[in-house]
Structure 1
Amino acid sequence: MALHVKALERSNTDEFDGFYAIYSTAFPISEQKSRDTLLAMQHASFYTIYLAYNDEKIVGFCIMYHPRSEDFFLLEYLAVDESLRGIGLGSTLLKSSIEQLFKTHGIRALLIEIESPEESSSDKEIRKKREQFYRNLGALKIDSFDYILALQSVEAPPAMKLLVYHPNLHAISKPTLQRWLEKIYVDVYECRKNDPRIAQMLDTAPPILNLI
């Protein structure tokens, strides 16, 4: 497969339609953003949508949030065409996206939200495989830290963990983590900076959190 990865151009409607065709079927409706929101992300200076091409066909995408004047990124979405899963396309897409992201915006911590594989659930094995997928690329888990996804709906969010990918980072301070959480809650999920869930997450966190 002749796979190559490139950033979605801000004015390219054909590329956006190809991306959206995969996006709209890759995630549960409750986890999807509206088409208008995604169009706004396409044109925003703090988002990049990376597209995986097999020859001329879009077969996957990766959405990265990269706030200005911050020391972290957030992997917001990653998906490949359903008919092409399980052949290594996802890891190639993510590796190339990270390389381009680091080259354009500098090396920072890349945060990755995952559903906790430690929680008893019907998709426990899928969660384990997903965590291993990111660990195989070098991501580490924030030790003894439970992440709360900032859902706006009334349904309870699944138990979550936060992974961190960085070539040389092995620990973070509690103030750093708090700053990251506040930025994500405000800019990505449109919540308040003083959302009580942030205090809840940090309540029992030690001054220094190891990445394991």
Structure 2
Amino acid sequence: MLELEFTTIEVWDEALWARMERIYHEAFPSGAKTKAILRSMLDRGIGYLHTGVHHGEVVAMAVTGLVGKGADRILIIDYLAIEQQLRGLGIGTWMLKQLRDWALREHGIKGIIIEAESGTTEAHQKRIQFWQHNGFVLTTYVHQYRMVPEPYQAMMLPMDGSTPVSDEGEELFHYINAFHKVAYRKS
């Protein structure tokens, strides 16, 4: 695997965003949060930008946020993207490990939640398999947003490895929706 350096920023950095923006838009060509929303998330202290850098080039990026308090704190991975031609080399798994270690060390989280598009296409299945390969548990509840055409399912990675994800996933969407509500709120 490539030798990578992981960074996390809490304060908006326009130069860094310019280096990671192409990967973000390549992976999420439509429906992704705008630059203004991402910047607002960092400005208000509710979001983080993370990068994986190889020889000065950003080759991986993530947008995360925290929900919950104390022992119930959860990391939401809002976006995770790898440079298209470098996918399949283990960089996504490496980024997840870095995100997990950072969130445990800095915030004492009890788990990580992502939402994956619910579908039966090969692309949907490959994404879900990636998350499952990295320890995430797929829940059965399918959530349909009012303003987004595709349905989603929640996936969770419990931090202690033994905590079962007993809920079908509906409860996990309370965390996800709380994060989105704050992320989209104007100041």
Match of 2:63 in 1: 63
Deviation at residue 147 of structure 1 after TM alignment? 2.8
Take 1:111 and 1:95, find their aligned partners in 2: how far apart are those partners? 14
Match of 1:152 in 2: 147
Higher RCO, 1 or 2 (CA under 8 Å, sep at least 6)? 2
Is this contact kept in 1: 2:154–2:173, CA < 8 A? Answer: no
Rg: which structure is higher? 1
How many residues are aligned here? Answer: 178
User: Aligned runs of 1:119-158 on 2, under 5 Å?
Assistant: 119=120, 124-142=121-139, 145-150=140-145, 152-153=147-148, 156-158=149-151
Is this contact kept in 2: 1:148–1:157, CA < 8 A? Answer: no
Unaligned runs of 5+ in 2: none
Deviation at residue 149 of structure 1 after TM alignment? 4.6
Query: Kindly, what percent of the aligned residue pairs are identical?
Result: 20
Tell me which amino acid in the other structure corresponds to 1:99: D
The 1:126–1:65 alpha-carbon spacing in structure 2 relative to 1, beyond 3 Å, is: same
User: Aligned runs of 1:1-212 on 2, under 5 Å?
Assistant: 1-29=2-30, 31-67=31-67, 69=69, 70-117=72-119, 119=120, 124-142=121-139, 145-150=140-145, 152-153=147-148, 156-158=149-151, 160-166=152-158, 167-172=161-166, 178=171, 180-189=172-181
Deviation at residue 173 of structure 1 after TM alignment? 5.6
The 1:43–1:103 alpha-carbon spacing in structure 2 relative to 1, beyond 3 Å, is: same
The 1:181–1:11 alpha-carbon spacing in structure 2 relative to 1, beyond 3 Å, is: closer
Unaligned runs of 5+ in 1: 192-212
Tell me which amino acid in the other structure corresponds to 2:54: N
The 1:168–1:64 alpha-carbon spacing in structure 2 relative to 1, beyond 3 Å, is: farther
Alpha-carbon displacement from aligned partner over 1:72-92 (angstroms, at most 9, x marks no partner): 221110101122122111111
More strand by share: 2
Normalised by the length of structure 1, the TM-score is: 0.73
SS of corresponding position for 2:18: helix
- Alignment RMSD (CA, Å): 2.5
Tell me which amino acid in the other structure corresponds to 2:180: V
Tell me which amino acid in the other structure corresponds to 1:134: W
